[in-house]
Amino acid sequence: MRVMIVDDHELFRNGLRFQLAAIDSTLDVVEADTFEDCIRLATEDGPVSKVFLDLMMPDMDWREALSALRRLPDPPDVVVLSGADDVAMIRSAIDHGACGYIPKSLKGDVLESALRLILAGGFYITPEVYRGPRVYDGAVRIMGVGGDDVPLTPRQKEVLAHIDAGLSNRQIAQAMTLSEATVKMHIGRLFKALGAQSRTDALAVARRKGML
CATH at residue 194: 1.10.10.10
Please indicate, yes or no, whether residues 117 and 50 belong to a single structural domain of this protein. Answer: yes
Within 10 angstroms of residue 88's Cβ, the number of other Cβ atoms is 10
- Residue range 180-197: average pLDDT? 84
Is 192 found in the same domain as 103?
no
% of the chain surpassing 90 pLDDT: 15
Task: State the pLDDT at residue 140.
Answer: 38
Q: Tens of pLDDT along 145-154?
A: 333 444 677 7
Same-domain status, 71 and 34: yes
User: Would you say residue 141 lies in a domain?
Assistant: no
**pLDDT beyond 70 at 132:** no
Per DSSP, the three-state class of 67 is helix
Helix (H, G, I), strand (E, B) or coil at 174: helix
In this structure, are 8 and 78 located in the same domain? Answer: yes
Q: Are 91 and 129 in contact (CB under 8 A)?
A: yes
pLDDT tens string 46-89: 788 899 998 888 777 888 888 888 888 888 889 988 876 677 77
User: Do 76 and 110 form a contact (C-beta atoms < 8 A)?
Assistant: no
Helix (H, G, I), strand (E, B) or coil at 5: strand
> Which tens digits make up the pLDDT trace of 133-186?
343 344 433 333 333 444 677 788 888 888 888 888 888 888 878 888 888 888
Range of the domain at 106: 2-135
Dihedral, CA of residue 93, residue 98, residue 99 and residue 102, to nearest 10: -60
Selection from 188, 212, 206 nearest residue 143 by Cα: 206
Angle at 156 between CA 182 and CA 130, to 5 degrees: 135
pLDDT digits (tens, 9 = 90+) for 8-40: 899 999 999 999 999 999 999 999 999 888 888
CATH of the domain at 59: 3.40.50.2300
Boundary (domain end) residue, out of 100, 135, 170: 135
Region of residue 6 (phi > 0: left; psi between -120 and 50: alpha; otherwise: beta): beta
- CB-CB contact of 87 with 118 (8 Å): no
Same domain, 30 and 126: yes
Q: Looking at the structure, tell me whether residues 117 and 196 fall in a common domain.
A: no
Instruction: Please check whether residue 82 is in contact with residue 104, taking contact to mean a CB–CB distance below 8 angstroms.
Output: yes
The predicted structure's pLDDT at residue 129? 60
Q: Is the pTM of this model over 0.85?
A: no
The answer to whether residue 203 sits within a structural domain is: yes
